[in-house]
Amino acid sequence: MSGLELSSQITRNNELLYATVGEELVMMSTEQGNYYGLDPVGRRIWEIIGEPRTVSDICAVLQMDYCVPAATCEAEVLAFVKELVEHRVVHVVAN
């Protein structure tokens, strides 16, 4: 998944079960039996990608929510989304 770019469009893996608990989001993959927890920023990203969105789109929304420089936001979101893709929490629908 090294091909993940700002223009990559991603969406949720709809096979996952998820629930918000306080500020966090807890997810379970029934297929693999794995559990995942997302902190408030991760949870916000999960909300944004209810419909397919590009990494740039996600960053644009996060920059409105949080005071963070664009370059930092993009680097961190790319790394985070890459991790989500590796865990099959999200899918890349188009590059």
Interface positions, 46-75, toward another protein (CB under 8 A): none
The pair of three-digit structure tokens given for residue 26, joined into one six-digit string:
């807890």
Min dist. Cβ of residue 58 to another protein (A):
11
| 3 is a site residue for another protein (CB under 8 A) | no
Q: Which helix (H) or strand (E) holds 64?
A: helix 55-65
Q: Pairing relation of β-strands 53-54 and 90-94?
A: unpaired
The two structure tokens encoding residue 61? 């929304």
Q: What residues line the site for another protein (CB under 8 A)?
A: 17, 19, 21-24, 26, 28, 30, 32-39, 41-42, 45, 76-77, 79-80, 83-84, 87, 89
